[in-house]
């Protein structure tokens, strides 16, 4: 695949003020979604409604005190979790491990585990070298494989990173300046599907990328809440929505899965 980018998006050029704003928004969006998502993380949909139903229209950090369990008490009000900590570590450093430990764990589990840890920290990878989708893809795969070797973990990480890079490039806008989400998803699939081998695997990826009904993602499905495609799918569903706050709230009230959302603004 050829590198993608416009005149502005060259590696030796200063990004425009608009692009810098988007970069900052991506980092803030990661941490805000992480911090507010902690309110319902690992709760069932039923329990989320039970505890937060009366305040669900305007969820705030202070509502964390409603559920003072062992999980939520590990963080102060408004804190993000280790997912954003790892994103910040990636932002500060390059990972030079060859992923051998991650591959061993994957092999020992019959190559059947695909947790969401890699995709939860990947937003910064879409910012670094955003002018080249080939480089973004390679970096996303390398970072994912360090701890999450399953091809689905790599594919979901690439998909999210490519979307961020594509939007930073300012690609796929209509005459009104709004992003054409279907075209962005097409690019994400094109790059992410290179991580997969079979048609079945690629079909599964496409389902989560294109899903328009959040209920079909089954975000609180028993024994699968950590599945990487569920977190990715929630992010891509959010990309199709118009209101950032309402979107995060709707995901939170569905869910036990960790939240990652794009800021389509």
Q: What are the structural domains, with CATH classification, of the chain?
A: 17-252 (1.10.4080.10)
pLDDT tens for each residue of 71-100: 889 999 999 888 888 777 767 664 344 434
- Mean pLDDT calculated for residue range 24-51: 87
pLDDT at 146 over 80: no
| Percent of the chain residues topping a pLDDT of 70 | 78
Name every residue whose Cβ is closer than 8 Å to that of residue 208 and which is 6 or more positions away in sequence: 217, 229, 230, 232, 233, 236
Q: Is 85 annotated as a binding residue?
A: no
pLDDT at 120 over 60: no
Q: Of residues 182 and 90, which shows the higher confidence score?
A: 182
Instruction: Give the pLDDT score at 14.
Output: 76
Cβ count within 10 A of residue 260: 26
| pLDDT-wise least confident of 114-123, 185-194, 202-211, 251-260 | 114-123
- Mean pLDDT calculated for residue range 224-244: 87
Instruction: Give the pLDDT score at 227.
Output: 83
pLDDT tens for each residue of 193-222: 999 999 999 999 999 999 999 999 988 887
pLDDT at 246 over 80: yes
Question: How does the average pLDDT of the chain come out, rounded?
Answer: 80
pLDDT at 192 over 90: yes
Instruction: Give the pLDDT score at 178.
Output: 92
Distance from the first to the final alpha carbon of the chain: 27
- Mean pLDDT calculated for residue range 12-40: 85
Instruction: Give the pLDDT score at 26.
Output: 86
Q: Is 142 annotated as a binding residue?
A: no
What is d(CA 65, CA 59) in angstroms, rounded to the nearest whole number?
Answer: 12
**What is the DSSP secondary-structure string of 130-141?**
TT-HHHHHHHHH
- Mean pLDDT calculated for residue range 58-73: 89
| pLDDT-wise least confident of 14-23, 95-104, 231-240 | 95-104
Instruction: Give the pLDDT score at 99.
Output: 38
| pLDDT-wise least confident of 39-43, 164-168, 202-206 | 39-43
Instruction: Give the pLDDT score at 123.
Output: 75
Q: How many residues does the chain have?
A: 265
Which tokens hold the place of 243? 């209101």
Confidence band (pLDDT; 50, 70, 90) for 50? very high
Q: Is 81 annotated as a binding residue?
A: yes
pLDDT at 34 over 90: no
Confidence band (pLDDT; 50, 70, 90) for 224? confident
The strand pairing partners of 115, in sequence order, are: 227
What is d(CA 214, CA 210) in angstroms, rounded to the nearest whole number?
Answer: 11
Confidence band (pLDDT; 50, 70, 90) for 37? confident
- Mean pLDDT calculated for residue range 170-175: 93
What is d(CA 231, CA 191) in angstroms, rounded to the nearest whole number?
Answer: 18
């Amino acid at each position: 695949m050829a590198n993608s980018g416009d005149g502005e998006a060259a590696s030796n050029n200063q990004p425009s003020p608009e692009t810098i704003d988007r970069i900052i928004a991506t980092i803030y969006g990661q941490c805000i979604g992480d911090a507010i998502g902690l309110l319902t993380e690992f709760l069932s949909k039923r329990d989320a409604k039970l505890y937060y139903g009366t305040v669900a229209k305007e969820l705030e950090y202070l509502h964390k005190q409603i559920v003072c369990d062992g999980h939520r008490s590990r963080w102060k009000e408004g804190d993000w979790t280790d997912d954003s900590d790892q994103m910040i570590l990636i932002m500060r450093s390059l990972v030079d491990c060859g992923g051998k430990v991650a591959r061993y764990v994957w092999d020992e589990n019959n190559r059947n585990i695909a947790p969401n840890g890699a995709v939860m920290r990947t937003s910064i990878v879409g910012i670094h070298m955003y002018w080249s989708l080939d480089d973004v893809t390679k970096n996303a795969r390398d970072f994912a494989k360090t701890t999450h070797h399953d091809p689905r973990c790599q594919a979901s990480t690439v998909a999210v990173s490519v979307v961020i890079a594509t939007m930073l490039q300012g690609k796929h806008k209509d005459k009104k300046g709004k992003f054409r989400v279907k075209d962005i998803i097409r690019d994400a699939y094109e790059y992410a599907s290179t991580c997969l081998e079979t048609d079945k695997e690629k079909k599964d990826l496409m389902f989560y990328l294109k899903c328009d009904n959040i209920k079909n993602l089954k975000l609180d499905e028993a024994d699968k809440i950590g599945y990487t495609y569920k977190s990715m799918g929630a992010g891509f569903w959010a990309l199709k929505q118009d209101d950032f706050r309402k979107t995060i709230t709707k995901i939170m009230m569905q869910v036990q899965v960790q939240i990652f959302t794009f800021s389509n603004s």
